[in-house]
A and B are shown apart, each in its own frame.
Chain A
Amino acid sequence: MRIIIIGCGEVGFHLARIFSRENHNVVVIDNSREKISRVEEALDVMVIEGSGSSVDVLARAGIREADLMIAVSAIDEVNIVACMLADKLGVKKKIARVRNQDFSSDKPIITPGDLGIDLIINPELETAHEIVWLIRRAAATDIFEFADGAIQMLGLRIESNSPVLHKQLLEIGATQPDLIFRTVAIFRKGRTIIPTGKDIYCDGDQVFIIAKTDAVPAVLELFCKAFERIDKLMILGGGKVGRIVASQLENDKNLQITLIESSQTKSQFVAEQLRRTLVIQGDGTDIDLLASEGLSEMDAFVALTDDEELNIISSLLAKHLGVKRTITMVAQASYIPLISSIGLDAAVDKRLITANAIARFIHRGDVVSVVSLPGIDAEAIELIPREGSKITKNKLNNISFPKDAIIGAITRDGEVFVPVGGHQVKAGDKVVVFTLPKFVAKVEKLFE
């Protein structure tokens, strides 16, 4: 498949990496020579310097043979025009990142269809969506969806008071035979481990668990001493993301939300938009202000300003004052591994979320879906075995599955289950496999 990616900032780069690793023919277009040469050195893709909305440049990128266009440059209009051109030139799927919410509101005047775009992705909306999930699943550090939402993968941190501490995976599984879940990876001291039943949970581990979506609360309860509800929430930053998060959470009547925004005009605007949220105008680094607004009594603190250093510092401050849960927005994916080592809980990166959302869309109902996990060296892929592929020929016991890969869950006819050795995969199943990047190709071979 020939894929044209316009714009190679964080999102474009990440997508280019995912697709070139899957052996697609990727062409990246950007008008910054610096960014272009960074991509060229790091990835096996073709690069073209120029504007994504220029017909000449698109022709050089081989748009007539392209199957997919992903426009994720910094400018909305370039992305839209590029997709419109791609539509005229017969590209099958077009995806544009558009920040302007007019296109993603409930009743847009111009619909994506009018522009010939299959998916308009709004990074702020996606990020807000993820943050809302993280708040509702208070103990989780990461949440990903599979099989159109039927399965979720959670990232959890094992704390010193966790009931599962120092126990084997097998033991924990045996205590709740009815609960369907599987631990697919453990991130311990900078290393990613694909665990077997004999591994034990250690203090400070970040574990990734695949479970049916409705079983998630029970799993959280099992892993964390008390599954704490969040009643009081403080949001720092009244930008787009903060506003959307607050407005979505406002529907929950038991939740008290305080939003702090430093700019006079912005805070005015946010206050007008939101109904139940208490909007405070003030500086997020002002410890007295935060304290007087009751930061120490908060259950959760979400830092969403455009200044990632401020987000990190204020989250640390919140932790210091005893807030149980922090969510920090960072602008560089490479900061995410730091977040846990300095004692913060969850981190979100707009660009990574956007890239993952695009990857999910492209793979929906298709062969493979890949989610790269922030900060850890592993990938979750969703595969649909073909008729007659190796994996369908025998029971799982008798198949030589790569050691550093694990099957998380299988969806068959809408039913989700976590397979054991006696199960057999059938063609058409949706199988979520968790593995280290270098084994992806090996795993895929079994499904072809």
Chain B
Amino acid sequence: MDIKAVLHTIGALLVFIGCSFILPIIVSIVYHESDLLPFVWSLAVTVSVGFLLWKLTPSNHDIKIREGFGIVTFSWVALSAFGALPFFFCLDISFTDAFFETMSGFTTTGATIFPEVESLPHGLLFWRSLTHWLGGMGIIVLSLAIMPMLGVGGMQLFKAEAPGPSVDKIKPRVQDTAKILWVVYLMLTVIEAILLRVVGMNWFDAICHTFGTMATGGFSTKNAGLMHYYDNVLVEYIIAVFMILAGINFALHYRFSRGRFSAYHQNSECRTYLGIITFTTVFLLFMTFGANFLTVEESFRKAIFQVASLLTTTGFHTADYEQWSVASQLLLTLLMFIGGCAGSTGGGIKVVRVDLTFRYLQTQFKRLVHPHAVTPVRFNNRPVSNDAIRDILGFVLVYVILFGVSSFLMSLLGLDLVTAVSTVISTLGNIGPGIGSVGPTENFAHIPVIGKWLLSFLMLAGRLEIFTVLIVFSKYMWRR
């Protein structure tokens, strides 16, 4: 791997993320709060370090596959480290906590170490939510859209960052594709923020919660999260709908907006995704009606919100689902593994991979009866190559292994069984809250320091789809 090429690009990205501190600075000026200076310092440090890296490394490098992986992984680590500076400068917390919080933000996990957030200055709260929004569609995809300098190597970076097994190139050129994705993302964000404002949130909360929704993040500006708006049914419905939209491939939103109204229906993955939502919502409606909620409407609302939130890996909650039946809780936990669609902002394994894994298993059964059968797996009415199936099975396997090993490591740190397992699902899937002592009403402050670093690693691995991160530790990456 050409380290200088990697550092050069990371430098440019740091300058870029440093400049984005301007937004929370504006917020903090508006609210006249104590976090102005920490932000200005963070901006100065980040931009100057980035600029030095950028200037001190030669610029004429080719970005090949190896550099692509290196750039994406290391820049996410670097951006989280520098993005943590405001928390570290402004509050009395350890760097571990600040880094955990920022990584949780950029990876759109939404796991927090703050027991309560309402006492935090508005600038910090805004920055917390902004990290979600920037990380949601991908910082590198954003920089591809606005900085043409990444050029030909862009596709490598795009692939390494974009969620899902393959990249849906909407336009022939990477830059145009990145632009379209961000424009669609921005439009949906604007619409949701306006709707939330209309139904009664103030602008600040509306924007922050929109960032949390569209990025499938989950940070809130309220101590009680969205339970704060328990008396506002519309808030719940709006956010539920936008979470579901955020979990769909953005290329489909684009095609839909261009007049291809059958885009959602024609896409196998999207159909499966909506099918899962419908099925689990109905199931939970029956499970919770009477037992937890008094009206069908309330059961439906709580069910669809929790389903959307955990399937898309957002991690908002409007009900304490730990009070629900064990079957309901387990079903919700299974949703956390599945995650959103490829090309969405959601985390998890991704619907397409789960779907194809099941379709593949189906063909295996067929082959037991007809040993000589030729059984192509179809998706979107096209046969899927064996190579693609192999990659997907490989991914699912690595996901499960990483889940098992990490859960064991967490239990070594003294966590109870449920918490050890659920912290790992929740961070690896970029969800946020889990069950046990990190449930929807609790937080991650009590996790030991080593645990926080491990979970930070899992969040990154989950966001960048594991291989991009793991490859950095392999010898193939470093051998000349």
Contacts and interface: CB of A to CB of B under 8 A. Distances in A.
Nearest to B152: A44
B277 interface: no
Interface string B169-192: 101111110000000000000000
Interface string A331-363: 000000000000000000000000000000000
A46 B152 contact: no
B60 A438 contact: yes
B60 A44 contact: no
B169 A43 contact: no
Nearest to B151: A44
A2 B173 CA distance: 10
B4 to A, nearest CB: 17
Given A25-B176, A438-B60, A44 B154 contact: yes
Interface residues of A, number: 15
Contact of A25 (B152, B155, B173): B173
B65 interface: yes
Interface string A84-123: 0000000000000000000000000000000000000000
Contacts of A42: 152
Contacts of A33: 385
A20 interface: yes
Given A33-B385, A438-B60, A44 B171 contact: no
Contacts of B171: 25, 46
Interface residues of B, number: 15
Nearest to A25: B172
A44 B155 contact: yes
16 contacts: A2-B172, A20-B152, A23-B173, A25-B172, A25-B173, A41-B65, A41-B156, A43-B152, A44-B151, A44-B152, A44-B154, A44-B155, A44-B174, A44-B175, A45-B172, A46-B171
Q: Looking at chain A's contact residues, is the secondary structure mostly helix, strand, loop, or mixed?
A: mixed
A45 B169 CA distance: 9
Q: Looking at chain B's contact residues, is the secondary structure mostly helix, strand, loop, or mixed?
A: helix
B155 A40 contact: yes
A276 to B, nearest CB: 51
A138 interface: no
Interface of B: 60, 65, 151-152, 154-156, 169, 171-176, 385
A42 B152 CA distance: 8
A302 interface: no
Contacts of A41: 65, 155-156
A20 B152 CA distance: 9
**Which one of B65, B151, B172, B175 has the highest number of Cβ atoms from chain A below 10 Å of its Cβ?**
B172
A43 B156 CA distance: 10
Given A41-B65, A44-B151, 4 more contacts: A25-B172, A25-B176, A44-B155, A46-B171
A27 interface: yes
Interface in A257-290: none
Interface string A41-58: 111111000000000000
Contacts of A43: 152
The 4 closest A-B pairs by CB, nearest first: A46-B172, A25-B172, A46-B169, A44-B152
A26 interface: yes
B153 to A, nearest CB: 9
A99 to B, nearest CB: 28
Contacts of A40: 155
B60 A20 contact: no
A94 B175 CA distance: 27
Interface string A18-47: 001001011100000100000011111110
Contacts of A45: 172-173
Nearest to B64: A41
B155 to A, nearest CB: 6
B65 A20 contact: no
Given A44-B152, A438-B60, A20 B385 contact: no
Nearest to A2: B172
A27 B172 contact: yes
Nearest to A47: B169
A44 B68 CA distance: 14
Contacts of A438: 60
A409 B176 CA distance: 36
Contacts of B176: 25
Nearest to A438: B60
B413 to A, nearest CB: 41
A26 B172 contact: yes
Nearest to A61: B172
